[in-house]
Amino acid sequence: MDINRRNFFKVVGVTGVALAAGKKLKASSEVESDQVEFYGILYDSVKCHGCGGCEIDCADANGLPYPEDSPEVGVVRKTSEIQRCVVNAIETSKGEVFVRSQCMNCNDPACGAACLTQAMHKTKEGPVIWREDKCMGCRYCMVSCPFDMPRFEYGSTNPVIQKCNMCYDLIQEGETPACVYNCPWDALKFGTRRELLAEARKRIVENPDQYVDHIYGEHEAGGTGWLYLSPVPFNELKMKTDLQNSSYPALTKGFISAIAPVDILLPALLLGVHEATKARNKNQEDEQ
């Protein structure tokens, strides 16, 4: 029975992978030396002057064309398949404020859980990277991402996904992401997420008039690699403030964990019902 065997192997395979993954998780909490803290980037919109220099540095670092426009009040610019980050100017209750927008590099990214080929991958250093050799272009990451950040080349026959990966190549070499390195206003800060959260809290405590008491990205979507400070509430910056604080992959966990039991128990149940009805039909035929 071909289907039978295939399915069996699949279940065994999935179980095996799950067991292996489980072991790994357990091991990593015991062996401290293997552990790397997630890196992140702190963006302080109080310090940002909206020069748009980081957009150019980003384009340079990733081989993308330079942006042709610059931040302007009333114009909502969006990241695209040729631009990984944008800075927008927004008129708020405290005057003109600049806000940056790019992939947030979530702690537990929806795109990573959505991806069926592991092309979207949360690295142990923190950046969420996209791997060209694995992606099949289904765009389920785009459907799932709560921040709507993966961008797809619709005009290409071999399209790629563009999004911020915090210059993962540079991080691996021990360097700083391009936008952080070049920012003349000190509005961007690179470090471990723990350090950045401490720094952000310090800035809020020391300058309570300048900052709202909220670090965007600390809890949003289960925590993100990019962290934001703002002089005004984040909804004024048109950022998504209705996101859940638990991670998005948690929404599918119930379903995923139900699959293996159903795959194993339902066939047995169906076979049982089949045997029972067969016996009943036979009895009826015998009586006739």
Partner 1 sequence: MISITTTMKNGELKTYTNRYKYLINELKPKGKIFTPFNIISVPIMLLGIYLIYIRFTQGIGSITNLSQEFPWGIWIAFDVVTGVAFAGGAYVLVFMVHILNLKKYKPIARITVLNGFLAYLFYSCALLLDLGRPMQIFNVIIGNNYGVSSVLFLVGWHFLLYMLALLIEFSPAVAEWLHAPKLRKILSALTLGAVIFGITLSVLHQSGIGALFLMAKDKIHPLWYNSYLPLMFVVSSIYAGISLIVFEGSISQKVFSNQLNKENHVQHNNIIIGLARIATMVMFAYLVMTVITLVHEKNWVYLSTGMGYWYLLEVLGFVLLPMFLFFYGAGRKNILIIKIASIMTLIGILMNRLNVSMIGFKWDVANHYIPSWKELVVTLTIIFIEVWVFRWIVRRMPVLRKSPDWV
CB of 285 to partner 1, least distance (A): 11
Q: Is 274 exposed, middle or buried (0-12, 13-18, 19+ CB in 10 A)?
A: exposed
Q: Does the protein bind partner 1 through residue 10 (CB under 8 A)?
A: yes
Q: What is the DSSP string of 154-209?
A: TT-SS--EE---TTHHHHHTT---HHHHH-TTS-EEEEEHHHHHHHHHHHHHH-TT
Which of 82, 92, 139, 204 touches partner 1 by CB under 8 A? 139
Q: What number of other Cβ atoms are within 10 A of residue 244's Cβ?
A: 13
- C-alpha 58/C-alpha 167 separation (Å) is 9
Q: Does the protein bind partner 1 through residue 198 (CB under 8 A)?
A: no
Q: Does the protein bind partner 1 through residue 19 (CB under 8 A)?
A: no
Task: List all residues 6 or more positions away from 10 whose beta carbon is below 8 Å from its beta carbon.
Answer: none
x/- letters, 66..105, toward partner 1 (CB under 8 A):
------------x-xx------------------------
Binding residues among 222-281 for partner 1 as defined by CB under 8 A: 240, 242-244, 248-249, 251-252, 254-256, 259, 262-263, 266-267, 270-271, 273-274, 277-278, 280-281
Which of 117, 207, 235, 283 touches partner 1 by CB under 8 A? 117
Q: Does the protein bind partner 1 through residue 116 (CB under 8 A)?
A: yes
Q: Which phi and psi (to 5°) does residue 171 adopt?
A: -60, -40
- C-alpha 48/C-alpha 89 separation (Å) is 10
- C-alpha 107/C-alpha 146 separation (Å) is 13
- C-alpha 106/C-alpha 206 separation (Å) is 28
- For 18, the enclosing helix (H) or strand (E) is helix 2-30
Which of 75, 138, 198, 205 touches partner 1 by CB under 8 A? 138
Which of 142, 170, 204, 212 touches partner 1 by CB under 8 A? 142
Q: Does the protein bind partner 1 through residue 283 (CB under 8 A)?
A: no
Which residues contribute to the site for partner 1 (CB under 8 A)? Answer: 1-4, 6-7, 10, 13-14, 17-18, 78, 80-81, 110, 113-119, 133-140, 142-144, 146, 148, 151-159, 240, 242-244, 248-249, 251-252, 254-256, 259, 262-263, 266-267, 270-271, 273-274, 277-278, 280-281
